[in-house]
Amino acid sequence: MMADQKDRQRNDALPGDIALRNSAAHSGDTGLAATGGPAAPGLDVVETRVEIETPDGTSDAVFIHPRQGSHPGVLLWADAFGLRPSMREIGQRIAAEGYSVLVPNPFYRMAEAPRWEPASFSFRNPADRARLVPLIASVSAPGNAEKDAVAYVAFLDAQEEVNREKKIGTQGYCMGGPLVMRTAAALPDRIGAGASFHGGGLVTDKADSPHLLAPKIKAQMYFAVASSDDARQPDARDKLREAFAAAGVAAEIELFPKTLHGWCVPDMPLHDGAPIYDRPAAEHAWGKLMALYKRALA
């Protein structure tokens, strides 16, 4: 059930104008229905394991699309726990809405997916947190996300299930938020929509901060911000808003009160014995995502 918009503390709308080798290793047409969330399934979808050649190696991924037809492409960037069932389920749910979705393993430089299940992870355990550092570094190193994005979009554009006359959308969770921005900046004429859900590191004090990429982005953007992230960095929303406004790029920044980092993903570990996942808030954000894709990828 979608949360009442009156419960949202703040909803900032910004003004603005709106040759790689790909190899697909098909290891099974699973014909999965979209179950990545509480909403009823839509179109019948197919999920296939694929491999994508990048400048740095072979990325394992899943490609999920409606069983029939050609549809706008979507690139889904996973959170720090990588490609796993919950990310595949989100991809299935998007595909059931009429999109052809690629969900890559962002850590292919380190190992094939999956790495581990979030339920066994504790953010308060230094050893657990240390396991994430090299994984995140492997995709966030300078230039890596951009190289990967070009390869992934090239793969999408080579598939008959992707309508190349439509723009491509991209969405990301946690560390995937900055990757969405880097994708949109690297391929401004191909990416039509970008969405970040509880993105981490969107605004930093470094010269390569993602928010500084706003002038290179043409996509319509949506940022769903966790209140716990906002409390740690209360000026980030203002800096995001100012960057996109100055660039004349359409962007909506929405703060979700009483939410924790990770609240859009159902398999997040418990925090102080309580779930991080917030279904009503996540459904509200999902509605915003679908409205964005229908508007910007048409």
Kindly state the average pLDDT of the residues 52-65. 97
The residues that bridge with 211 in the sheet, in sequence order, are none
Q: For residue range 202-246, list pLDDT tens digits in order.
A: 999 999 999 999 999 999 999 999 999 999 999 999 999 999 999
Q: Which of 24-33, 44-53, 219-228 has the lowest mean pLDDT?
A: 24-33
Confidence bin at 123 (pLDDT 50/70/90):
low
pLDDT at 131: 77
User: pTM of the full predicted structure?
Assistant: 0.85
Cα-Cα end-to-end distance for the chain: 26
Q: How confident is the model at residue 24 (pLDDT cuts 50, 70, 90)?
A: very low
Q: For the chain, list the domains and their CATH numbers.
A: 5-296 (3.40.50.1820)
Mean pLDDT value of segment 257-273? 91
Question: Which two three-digit tokens encode residue 176?
Answer: 């995937």
Q: How confident is the model at residue 33 (pLDDT cuts 50, 70, 90)?
A: very low
Region 97-105: mean pLDDT is 98
- For range 244-263, the mean pLDDT: 96
Kindly report, residue by residue over 124-149, the tens digit of the pLDDT.
Answer: 778 777 777 878 888 989 999 999 99
**Res 35: pLDDT:** 33
**Average pLDDT estimate for 75-97:** 95
- Cα distances from 162 to residues 53, 238, 256, in angstroms, run 18, 36, 33
Nearest residue to 175 via CA among 213, 137, 142, 207: 137
If you ran DSSP here, which 8-state letter would residue 51 be given? Answer: E
Confidence of residue 5 (pLDDT cuts 50, 70, 90): very low
Q: What is the pLDDT of residue 176?
A: 96
Per-residue pLDDT at 132: 76
- pLDDT, residue 135, reads 82
Residue 207's Cβ-count burial label (10 Å; 0-12, 13-18, 19+) is: exposed
For residues 51-78, average pLDDT:
97
Residue 179 class from Cβ within 10 Å (0-12 exposed, 13-18 middle, 19+ buried)?
buried
pLDDT digits (tens, 9 = 90+) for 175-197: 999 999 999 999 999 999 999 99
